[in-house]
């Protein structure tokens, strides 16, 4: 191999089963400082690596080390073709804007691109089974862009067919983009350098990261950057790549959970990777087959290893990898009597998160929120929905209907969903307009509730058991709306947080003091201070039992929330803090979600019953793109029906119940006997 206009430095690291995955999108690793010839760089001890990362310059070469080491197994080589440029100053930014790529910070970027290109070409020639990753930081990102652009030529077809990713950190050529629909961010040289080829974008190989307020890649238009902002340009570390390990067409070995004798659908690549193909190295076990990039069929009991060969027609099509999928089939995680509620019209689970479940008193209706697009017929949304809608599921018919509908019959967004005792009425708030709606599922009508539009803190309204009254806070006042007459009644108290389902008792909070107000006797029947908490925490109440004796205390500490049941007399906690708690209206008990994602039902004075053991999810090296919050809502949810009749809950896992083999939050219902 010819000399690469300088020193090419390389190192090889033994990393994990999907280091290939992480490396694909990471594109960087620790580089030794000892010079080496190009030939030595491409003839690693022990033969060709599984993945070669070609780093075209800049800082942050070590950023991928921790992420790659999460998934041991692949042999990864990293070649740096240029030394990092000196750190930038604020004066440099002004000069860069005037001089563009002629500024000394970018000196030699075309030469770096040529050296990177030669490294890619030689690797494709000498190591035909090696995946190539091209990346760079700052000036190196510009050189990586140029090398990728030149790969489009016919002379570099072999290298192009081995390229798995283009990874850019702190890219000064980053084009304009909006953040939360307000700030317009752009790189300091947006649009003034080489473009990323269309074939790279179409194949989904481009991954770009811009940390914090880095003004080099994400300056706010019209805003003068500070010296503190500029420090973000050199702040790329392993957290810049969190979640990238395993996001690869293939992994060498992965264990997937399953339910014995039930259907599985194991993805052989992340969602969004195009043109995935696979073939069996040996005869597949009976009942399993390969279909559209998935291993599907019935899972044999116990652990079953399946050897496959996987590749992509769009991403590094010249590279094929042996893959071992181990199915670990056990019994289902949920208690018998549990069914999947958020099931789509195609009989598959919701194709996006479903959460905030609420169950009717008879456990025959469950309402919930979801951003899915396959729950009802006629949903023509072509893209992923951002604003959730409210749905109701009928246990008798198994039918799902859209209930977040306005008075004109148009679908609207939803939050703070509530259901009446019979399941006929559903209360929800449209976050776009601030209007609260009461939906009659039988009549098919929606009625606007005169709840004041939220100002700062949104306190959900309480729906009466009969579905005909709504109690809410209006500024400092507490009011009750009667659906049959349209009358809004002033209840004459302040500090409203929640009302009992029968409407008689109100939970009122003033600082650290809780009062239970009897609307019939028009007096406080119990009061006390919440148990001591740290100064940075505050306590609220989200529900009250029918007899007014029990509440659910929600403690907010900064952005963290936890809940527990509380007996008002003596302000005595009945259980430990947990992520979510639901109090049965008749005070027969409560259901709660543990920190390990288990779900339990606890009768008052009795022994708890585990309804869901910790569900098994993705292999540890695979990171799905699943948010724990959607539109500000936490996905974990639980709702208990009176008398222990049923519990609706949210869970994510591959072994909760048969037919719910999915990596997004779903809603389930457990019913007794």
Domain boundaries of the chain, sorted by first residue: 9-241, 253-330, 338-671
- CA separation for the pair 632, 651 (Å, rounded): 18
With CA atoms as reference, report the closest residue to 646 among 341, 330, 370: 341
Angle at 669 between CA 505 and CA 619, to 5 degrees: 125
Whether the predicted pLDDT of 422 surpasses 90: yes
- CA separation for the pair 131, 52 (Å, rounded): 6
CB 566 within 8 A of CB 573: yes
Is the model more confident about 382 or about 478? Answer: 478
- CA separation for the pair 149, 89 (Å, rounded): 29
Angle at 640 between CA 636 and CA 643, to 5 degrees: 165
Whether the predicted pLDDT of 486 surpasses 70: yes
Residue 249: pLDDT band by 50, 70, 90 thresholds?
low
Count of alpha carbons within 13 Å of 429, Cβ hemisphere only?
18
Whether the predicted pLDDT of 629 surpasses 60: no
Residue 323: pLDDT band by 50, 70, 90 thresholds?
confident
Whether the predicted pLDDT of 647 surpasses 90: yes
| Mean pLDDT for the chain overall | 85
With CA atoms as reference, report the closest residue to 583 among 524, 634, 531, 643: 643
With CA atoms as reference, report the closest residue to 501 among 381, 584, 579: 584
Task: Write down the pLDDT at residue 373.
Answer: 92
Strands (E) across 240-353 are located at 253-259, 263-267, 276-280, 288-291, 294-298, 302-312, 321-330, 338-340
- CA separation for the pair 322, 269 (Å, rounded): 13
Residue 239: pLDDT band by 50, 70, 90 thresholds?
confident
- What average pLDDT does this structure show over 99-116? 94
Is the model more confident about 425 or about 14? Answer: 425
Using N-to-C axis directions, what is the helix angle for 139-150 and 109-126, rounded to 10°?
50
- What average pLDDT does this structure show over 415-434? 95
Task: Write down the pLDDT at residue 22.
Answer: 37
Residue 73: pLDDT band by 50, 70, 90 thresholds?
low
Whether the predicted pLDDT of 78 surpasses 90: no
3-state secondary structure of 94: helix
With CA atoms as reference, report the closest residue to 19 among 94, 77, 73: 73
**CATH code for 253-330?**
2.60.40.10
Task: Write down the pLDDT at residue 209.
Answer: 86
- CA separation for the pair 478, 312 (Å, rounded): 61
With CA atoms as reference, report the closest residue to 563 among 638, 494, 499: 638
Residue 218: pLDDT band by 50, 70, 90 thresholds?
confident
Residue 620: pLDDT band by 50, 70, 90 thresholds?
low
- CA separation for the pair 467, 668 (Å, rounded): 23
Alpha carbon distance, N-terminus to C-terminus of the chain: 74
CB 158 within 8 A of CB 80: no
Whether the predicted pLDDT of 228 surpasses 90: no
Residue 386: pLDDT band by 50, 70, 90 thresholds?
confident
- CA separation for the pair 585, 640 (Å, rounded): 8
Task: Write down the pLDDT at residue 36.
Answer: 36
Task: Write down the pLDDT at residue 551.
Answer: 97
- CA separation for the pair 175, 194 (Å, rounded): 12
Beta-carbon contacts of 443 under 8 Å, excluding residues fewer than 6 positions away, are none
With CA atoms as reference, report the closest residue to 48 among 67, 6, 76, 14: 76
Handedness of CA 240, 664, 425, 432 (dihedral sign): positive
3-state secondary structure of 346: coil
Whether the predicted pLDDT of 656 surpasses 90: yes
Residue 632: pLDDT band by 50, 70, 90 thresholds?
very low
Task: Write down the pLDDT at residue 35.
Answer: 32
Q: Which superfamily is assigned to 9-241 in CATH? A: Alpha/Beta hydrolase fold, catalytic domain (3.40.50.1820)
Residue 68: pLDDT band by 50, 70, 90 thresholds?
low
Q: Which CATH class is domain 338-671?
A: mainly beta
β-strands 163-169, 206-209: how paired?
parallel
- What average pLDDT does this structure show over 79-86? 87
Is the model more confident about 459 or about 208? Answer: 208
- What average pLDDT does this structure show over 312-339? 91
338-671 matches 9-241 in CATH topology: no
Task: Write down the pLDDT at residue 499.
Answer: 97
Tell me the two tokens of residue 29: 């690793």
Tell me the two tokens of residue 537: 């925490």
Whether the predicted pLDDT of 150 surpasses 80: yes
Q: How far lies 112's CA from each of 116, 166, 191, 205, in Å?
A: 6, 15, 20, 21
Q: How far lies 65's CA from each of 11, 40, 70, 649, in Å?
A: 12, 22, 9, 38
Whether the predicted pLDDT of 12 surpasses 90: no
Handedness of CA 546, 548, 549, 552 (dihedral sign): positive
Task: Write down the pLDDT at residue 24.
Answer: 35
- CA separation for the pair 285, 668 (Å, rounded): 31
Question: What are the tens digits of pLDDT across the range 25-37?
Answer: 333 333 332 333 3
Dihedrals phi, psi of 312, to nearest 5 degrees: -125, 140
Residue 635: pLDDT band by 50, 70, 90 thresholds?
low
Q: How far lies 567's CA from each of 37, 530, 648, 653, in Å?
A: 74, 11, 23, 34
Question: What are the tens digits of pLDDT across the range 111-122?
Answer: 999 999 999 999
Percent of residues, the chain, with pLDDT higher than 70: 83
Q: How far lies 335's CA from each of 331, 426, 614, in Å?
A: 10, 28, 12
Q: Residue 643 gets which letter from DSSP?
A: G
Question: What are the tens digits of pLDDT across the range 512-552?
Answer: 999 999 999 999 999 999 999 898 999 999 999 999 999 99
Beta-carbon contacts of 519 under 8 Å, excluding residues fewer than 6 positions away, are 491, 503, 504, 505, 506
- CA separation for the pair 543, 585 (Å, rounded): 9
Whether the predicted pLDDT of 72 surpasses 60: no
H or E stretch at 243: none
Q: How far lies 186's CA from each of 167, 180, 637, in Å?
A: 18, 14, 38
- CA separation for the pair 209, 230 (Å, rounded): 15
Tokens 């990596």 belong to residue:
663
Is the model more confident about 164 or about 160? Answer: 160
- What average pLDDT does this structure show over 256-264? 92
Task: Write down the pLDDT at residue 546.
Answer: 96
Question: What are the tens digits of pLDDT across the range 38-52?
Answer: 344 444 445 788 888
Percent of residues, the chain, with pLDDT higher than 90: 58
- CA separation for the pair 667, 654 (Å, rounded): 13
Residue 145: pLDDT band by 50, 70, 90 thresholds?
very high
CB 139 within 8 A of CB 106: yes
With a threshold of 0.85, does the pTM exceed it? Answer: no
Whether the predicted pLDDT of 599 surpasses 80: yes
Whether the predicted pLDDT of 331 surpasses 70: yes
- What average pLDDT does this structure show over 456-482? 88
């Amino acid at each position: 191999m010819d000399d690469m206009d300088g020193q090419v430095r390389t190192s090889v690291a033994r990393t994990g089963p999907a280091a290939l995955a992480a490396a694909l999108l990471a594109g960087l690793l620790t580089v030794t400082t000892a010079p080496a010839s190009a030939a030595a760089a491409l003839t690693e001890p022990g033969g060709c690596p599984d993945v070669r990362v070609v780093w075209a310059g800049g800082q942050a070469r070590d950023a991928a080390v921790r992420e790659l080491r999460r998934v041991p197994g692949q042999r990864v080589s990293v070649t740096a073709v240029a030394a990092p440029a000196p750190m930038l100053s604020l004066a440099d930014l002004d000069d860069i804007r005037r001089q563009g790529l002629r500024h000394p910070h970018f000196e030699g970027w075309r030469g770096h691109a040529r050296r990177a290109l030669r490294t890619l070409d030689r690797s494709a020639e000498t190591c035909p089974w090696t995946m190539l990753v091209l990346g760079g930081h700052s000036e190196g990102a510009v050189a990586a862009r140029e090398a990728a652009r030149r790969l489009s030529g016919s002379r570099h077809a072999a290298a192009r067919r081995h390229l798995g990713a283009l990874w850019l950190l702190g890219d000064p050529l980053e084009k304009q983009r909006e953040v939360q629909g307000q700030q317009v961010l752009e790189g300091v040289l947006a649009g003034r350098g080489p473009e990323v080829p269309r074939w790279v974008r179409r194949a989904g190989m481009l991954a770009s990261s811009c940390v914090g307020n880095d003004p080099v890649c994400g300056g706010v238009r019209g805003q003068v950057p500070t010296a503190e902002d500029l420090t973000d340009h050199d702040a790329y570390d392993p957290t810049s790549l969190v979640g990238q390990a395993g996001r690869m067409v293939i992994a060498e070995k992965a264990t997937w959970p399953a339910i014995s004798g039930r259907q599985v659908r194991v993805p052989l690549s992340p969602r969004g990777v195009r043109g995935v193909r696979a073939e069996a190295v040996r005869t597949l076990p009976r009942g399993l087959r390969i279909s559209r990039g998935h291993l599907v069929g019935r899972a044999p009991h116990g652990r079953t290893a399946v050897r496959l060969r996987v590749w992509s027609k769009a991403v590094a099509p010249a590279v094929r990898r042996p893959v071992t999928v181990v199915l670990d089939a056990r019994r289902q995680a949920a208690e018998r009597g549990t069914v999947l509620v958020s099931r789509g019209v195609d009989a598959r689970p919701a194709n996006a998160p479903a959460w905030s479940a609420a169950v009717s008193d008879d456990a025959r209706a469950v309402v919930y929120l979801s951003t899915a697009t396959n729950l009802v017929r006629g949903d023509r949304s072509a893209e992923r929905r951002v604003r959730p809608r409210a749905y109701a599921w009928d246990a008798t018919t198994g039918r799902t209907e859209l209930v977040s509908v306005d008075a004109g019959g148009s679908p609207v967004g939803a939050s703070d969903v509530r259901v009446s005792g019979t399941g006929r009425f559903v209360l929800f708030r449209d976050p776009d307009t601030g209007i609260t709606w009461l939906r009659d599922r039988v009549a098919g009508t929606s009625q606007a509730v005169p709840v004041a539009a939220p100002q700062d803190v949104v306190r959900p309204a309480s729906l009466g058991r009969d579905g005909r009254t709504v109690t809410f806070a209006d500024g400092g006042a507490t009011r009750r709306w009667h659906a049959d007459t349209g009358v809004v009644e002033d209840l004459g108290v302040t500090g409203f947080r929640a009302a009992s389902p029968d409407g008689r008792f109100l939970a009122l909070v003033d600082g650290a003091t809780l009062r239970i107000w009897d609307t019939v006797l028009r007096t406080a029947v119990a009061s006390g201070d919440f148990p001591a908490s740290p100064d940075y925490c505050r306590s609220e109440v989200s529900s009250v039992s029918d007899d007014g004796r029990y509440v659910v205390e929600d403690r907010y500490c900064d952005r963290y929330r936890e809940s527990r049941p509380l007996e008002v007399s003596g302000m005595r906690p009945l259980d430990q803090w947990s992520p979510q708690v639901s109090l049965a209206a008749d005070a027969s008990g409560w259901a709660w979600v543990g920190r390990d994602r288990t779900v339990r039902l606890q009768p008052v004075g009795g022994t708890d019953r585990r309804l869901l053991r910790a569900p098994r999810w993705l292999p540890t090296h695979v990171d799905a793109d699943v948010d724990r919050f959607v539109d500000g809502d936490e996905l974990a949810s639980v709702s208990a029906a009176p008398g222990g009749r049923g519990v609706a809950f949210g869970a994510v896992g591959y072994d909760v119940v048969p037919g719910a083999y999915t990596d997004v939050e779903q809603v389930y219902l457990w019913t007794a006997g």
